[in-house]
Each structure stands twice: as C-alpha cells, then as structure tokens.
Structure 1
C-alpha cells in the first residue's frame, strides 16, 4: 500500500508541472515540435525505478536545454507499456506514425526495449533505452537508430561475479526472472563465474511479478551453492530477497546476491536488511556537487524521493539527443541523429564526459558501492559509500565481443 501511495503522489507531482502523465499529442503537422516520448512502466514493478520519475527527469533536461531545439519547442509525452512488448510496440508505432514523436526514451523491461528498438529502426526514428539492461541492445540486436544508456547485463553481472568467485564463492545457483532481461543477466553472470574458475550447480526461473518464492528458494537451499544469485529486479528482487532472509539462507551459510539492485530497492528493504551489500551502478545522487544539485531539484518534484541511476540516465539521454538535433537543425532522420550522437562526446552536469561507441553503447564511469549501516546514514536516501571506480576496460564488454553488425561491417 505504501508503494501505491508513493506512486500516486509521484504521478500527482508530475501532473503539477503542467504536463499530464498520460499526455496524448493530437495528430497535426509533423514538425510543429520536437516530441520525445517517455515510454515506461507507470504503475507496475518498474514504476519506482523509472516510471513517473523518468518523466520528471526528461522535463528537467528539456528545461535546462532551454525548451527548444532546431527552432522548435520541445515537448515531453508519456505512455505506459504495462511490461508488454506488444503494447509497447503498438504505442511506439502510433507515436511515430501519427503523433509526431521523434524519439522514445526509458523503456524498462528488456523485451519491450528490444521490440520498440525494431519499430524505431523500421520508422527511422530514435530509441534510447535508459532503463532496459539487455546486452543484446548493443550486441547482436544493435541498431543505427539506438543508443543504450543504462548499464547492461554484461556490466551488472561481470563486475560482481568475478569479485565474488575470487572471494571464495565457488558454486552458484540462479533465481532468474523468466524474460529477456533475466535470461541475459544469468547467462552473462554464469559465463563470468566459469571464466573465473567457479561452477554453476543449478538455476530456476520465475514469472515477472512473482509474490511467493518459497518453492524457488527451497531449490536454491537444496543446491547448497555458496552463492544464490538473484537475476531479477525491482518487486521480484525485493520479494525474493525478503523471503530468502525468512528462509534463513544466509544463516545456513549461503550468500544471497542481487545482480540488478537500485537505490529504490535498498530504501524499500531498509539498511538493517541490506547493510554491507555490494552494489554496482553508474550513478548516485551524492557523488558530487552536480549530482547533488540534480537530486535536490528532482526531489522537489517527486515528494522528496531521490532519483535512481536509471532516471538520471533519462536526463543525460534527453540532453545529448537535443544537442544532436540542434546541431543538425532537424529531427526527421533518426539514423542521422544517432550518428551525430555517436560522433559527439557526451557531457552533462550529472555524468560529466563520456562517449558513445559505434555499437551504440554509452560509456560513462561505473562504480562499486557498499550499503551503509543504519548508524552511518544521515537520511533515508543516504545509503551508499563509494568503494571504487571500475576501470572502463573492466566495466564494459569489449566491443569486438558483442556481435554487433554495425561494428562488423554489417551497416544498417
């Protein structure tokens, strides 16, 4: 109920800015504005980590850019894909074909992002996944119309998996969300574990939105694996993590590790339950003056909630997209806009400088954080201590290993 109340408050805060959460642009002249669509999960399992907060982040970026690009006003519209690839694809086609949307951003749920990426490619518009994490987005399914902003499953799995094997976690069991994101996260982690000398002893998959993990966790417990890896996220991660604690997996000597953990998860579970956990991310609101300034502005519109790294990605994506459109003087050719984005170093107030590789992979710093003990936290969102910045060569999959046809000479 608390999460539902927070979501309702967040949606009310978005509407208070003057833009309806479910904005429906009317068909009209295609170039009356630069229209950016935030296609998200506004009420389901990803609403806390993306959702209404992603709309706010896009609004802040458009405002900071001056509200115009290529001599046209910038409009932010939004839609709810309801974690269904067919629903997301239908909205994307309608936006591109009849409602003058130039770019679609956010896209939590990798199955939805992969489907919308193909729609953008066929329509020659732009897709900027800032919340989907499948490594295929810059791998075999890369596109000249797409830039992948969020950390992917390669980074999220390789960095902690190698470290845990080196710390003695020789055997692994996976609890995996049964869709593209979970499958990819498990595979990338398992490959990293094997390369590091570890061994996979089993895995089990569960549907998105599972509430009862008892049967799944009994299998994990019976495996006697040193590490039980949760290859899921958001509500699924929170529920499985809580129930793993209730089942006493840690008390019996197993280490339970989340491979896709966000600040909203830590806040929901509480520091008492998560202190000492190691988390990999590409952004945190308390890193520097720029991140703190953005965090405060965001929180003012979100009822005091600090942004997640996925919501910060939206700000960066909108900013860099608008720079490319302004430089070209047009948003009509999606491939040309993405090519300009790749040719121009990324730079903004909250991520600093970075780049976009030919495969569409956005490169920015990656950090390893440790969750604070309750006594060390100054407020509800003061949850991380920085352990180290990961060298970029370790943080991202080598471009030659991704299988992207844009890199291998396949063209568009």
Structure 2
C-alpha cells in the first residue's frame, strides 16, 4: 500500500497544475497600456494590443495548463496611468505591466511595480529615462532605445560617406532627446552637425524648414518627426525636389508611417529592430497580424510587444513564479532565440540587446507584396548598437 501511495503522489506532483503551484491558480494576469492620441492614430492603438493577444495565444497553445488573462486600456494619459496600475495591483492582483505611453508616468509605475516585485516591460520610447539611479531591478527594457537606433543609423551612413548632418526635429522633449542621441553619435565619429530647426508639433508646412536645411549643403537631413508630421514632411520634401538631394534619414520611424506612401517616402533611411519581410518568421507573423488587423501590417513596436510578451511568459513558466526578481534572473541566464528580433540578450541593467537593421524605403515598383516596404542596407550587431553601461547600479530590489 505504501508503494502505491508514493506512486500516486509522484503522479500528482508531475501534473502540470500541481508542478506549477507557485503561480496562484495557474493564472497569469498581464496589464497593457497604449497611446490613443490623435497624432499617432494612423498606427491604430489596438495594433500593439493585438500583438500581445497573439503572443498570449501562441504561448497558450504550448502551455495549456496556464491561463493568461489580460487587462488593457488604450486611453493612456500621464495623469491616469499610475492610478490605473495601482488599481490593477490592489484589486486585480496584476502580475506584470507591458508598456505605457506616457513618459511622465513611466518612472512612478516602474517604482510601484518594483515595490510589489512585479515586472514592468518597457517597449515604447519611455525607456529614455531608465538608467543610472532610475534603473529598476524589475524593469525590462525590451524596446530598442533611441540611442541604439540613432547610433546604428549614424554609423552605417557614416561608413557610406555622410559627414554633414542637418536636423529637423519636433519641438517636443521626446524628439529633442532622440536628436541628442544622434548628435552624440555623429560627433563621436568625427561628423558635423551643420544646423538644426525645431518646428512645433502639428506643423502643416515644412517648406521653410526644408529650404533652410538645403542652404547648409548637408549630406543627410535627419528627421526627428513622427506620425502625421513625418508623413507631411516627407510628402513636401519629395514634391519640392529636396528628397533627390541629400540622403533623408528618419530617426524614429515605424513601418506604418511609410506604408501606403512609398512614392513620397522612397529612399528614406532608418534603423529598426524588426521589419516584416526580413525572414520566414517575420513574414509569417506579419501575415497573421495583417489578417487580424484587416490589412494593417505590424509596426516595429507591435513586433516588440509580441516578442516581449512571449519572452516574459516563457520566463514565468520556467521559474514557475510571477515574482519579478526570479523572472529577471531567468531572463538574464541565457540568450533568447526570438523569432522576430533574432537573438536577444538581457543585460544586467534590464536592457534587451539584439541586432538593429538599417534599411531604406523601397520605390513603389520594388514593393511586390503587402508589408514589403524596406530593402536591407546593413545589420548592426547588438554589441555595437546597444552600448553604454551594462551595470548602472540598480536599486537593491523590491521593498516588500
């Protein structure tokens, strides 16, 4: 009888639901916040939400014993995001939060999740503030930083002979920060910034700015604009003939910014962590995503959200816990073979480092199928793209 009892206990311990009892009720709760502001509405706020849903479904297909529940809100504003996350933690017992749209809300949310020993995954550009004393041991910076993108772009164009740069960057903190990282990369390589202009957000006429840029005879006009302003500037640059002179380079461009306007965006250089036509895995993801979004292809942020969600869930499953410190330790242990970004290594400071791809927007006659907007120019290795300190002295850990 004793033998049979031990055998039954062994069988019970091997059952998935019991073996992973450290995850309460075998349920993982993820929170997701996104930006629905008018300037970026062409990107469709729901797109990143769909990417997260796809990752949850793909994970669930291989881990049926775990139930993943998502809490979403795409009406993100700096004044309501921290309160929303606090309610999620106190009332819904959320296990991780993926992304926020507002930079002003990111640091308090990061600290809040650190105190609860829960993971905060940063994908969007709010990652600008997470270094040095602001580094958190439970914040995972999965999105490619402006420094990684701009330094990769500058490096590749410098190798191609670009020495003189002129900036047109929106008069906004985020755009100015992106420009500063590019300036540092240019001067570090011995290049020269010959001018800069900062039009206000929502500018409808960039003709004066473009003429001022041309007067300085730059090798590159670097554009620190996003969304509708980027599209307006590219359209006016092409139709005025400016785009046929110096190289045009976008400091932070999403594929959906240029999709459908290849005639005006053709020839634009940019750096990206993902593009849809890079390999079979990215093409399959883009095909499935496009089917879900009814013809809209994935942006780079969408791919990063999918990638981060999948990596997070796999780590939770591996350690059988939702504790942030355990999850971060698991993520750092070995390189992650990511289907969309390539090999990802999580550094000691929580930065997910991977290759960056410098591409050029195709001419309309070169784009032969949906999501086929970029031609590859160069691949920048993770060690070159993600420079800076790997151990910036994060706080010791969760407070509870």
**CA distance change for structure 1 residues 239 and 101 in 2, over 3 Å: closer, same or farther?**
farther
Tell me the number of residue pairs that the alignment of Structure 1 and Structure 2 aligns.
374
Which residue does the alignment assign to 2:232? Answer: 239
Q: Distance in 1 between the 2:203 and 2:94 partners?
A: 34
Residue by residue over 1:363-393, the C-alpha shift from the partner in whole angstroms, topping out at 9 and shown as x without a partner, is 2222222222222221242112223322233
Report the secondary structure of 1:98's partner residue: helix
- Residue 157, structure 1, aligned to residue 150, structure 2: yes
Give 1:144 shift: 0.8
Aligned ranges 1:333-412 → 2 under 5 Å? 333-399=323-389, 404-406=392-394, 411-412=396-397
Q: Distance in 1 between the 2:333 and 2:358 partners?
A: 29
**CA distance change for structure 1 residues 235 and 79 in 2, over 3 Å: closer, same or farther?**
same
CA contact 1:67–1:74 (8 Å) conserved in 2: no
CA contact 1:40–1:50 (8 Å) conserved in 2: no
Larger CA Rg, structure 1 vs 2? 2
CA contact 2:169–2:225 (8 Å) conserved in 1: yes
Q: Distance in 1 between the 2:145 and 2:174 partners?
A: 9
Which residue does the alignment assign to 1:27? Answer: none
Residue by residue over 1:193-234, the C-alpha shift from the partner in whole angstroms, topping out at 9 and shown as x without a partner, is 112222223333345444444565465455554433112322
Q: Distance in 1 between the 2:264 and 2:275 partners?
A: 20
**CA distance change for structure 1 residues 94 and 48 in 2, over 3 Å: closer, same or farther?**
farther
Q: Distance in 2 between the 1:97 and 1:182 partners?
A: 35
Report the secondary structure of 2:130's partner residue: helix
- Residue 35, structure 1, aligned to residue 35, structure 2: no
Q: Distance in 1 between the 2:306 and 2:248 partners?
A: 32
CA contact 1:171–1:198 (8 Å) conserved in 2: yes
Report the secondary structure of 1:261's partner residue: coil
Q: Distance in 2 between the 1:106 and 1:212 partners?
A: 33
Please tell me the root mean square deviation across aligned C-alpha atoms, in Å: 3.0
Residue by residue over 1:154-190, the C-alpha shift from the partner in whole angstroms, topping out at 9 and shown as x without a partner, is 1111122233344443332322234443232111110
- Residue 264, structure 1, aligned to residue 242, structure 2: no
Q: 1:95 aligns with which of 73, 84, 88?
A: 88
Residue by residue over 1:233-260, the C-alpha shift from the partner in whole angstroms, topping out at 9 and shown as x without a partner, is 2223222322334555345x44432111
CA contact 2:249–2:270 (8 Å) conserved in 1: no
Q: Distance in 2 between the 1:50 and 1:132 partners?
A: 17
Instruction: Flag structure 1 segments of 5+ consecutive residues without an equivalent.
Output: 1-29
Instruction: Flag structure 2 segments of 5+ consecutive residues without an equivalent.
Output: 1-23
CA contact 1:70–1:325 (8 Å) conserved in 2: no
Give 1:140 shift: 5.3
Q: Distance in 1 between the 2:227 and 2:233 partners?
A: 10
**CA distance change for structure 1 residues 31 and 182 in 2, over 3 Å: closer, same or farther?**
farther
CA contact 2:247–2:269 (8 Å) conserved in 1: no
CA contact 2:155–2:185 (8 Å) conserved in 1: yes
**CA distance change for structure 1 residues 315 and 50 in 2, over 3 Å: closer, same or farther?**
farther
Q: 1:86 aligns with which of 79, 87, 93?
A: 79
Report the secondary structure of 2:109's partner residue: helix
Which residue does the alignment assign to 1:282? Answer: 273
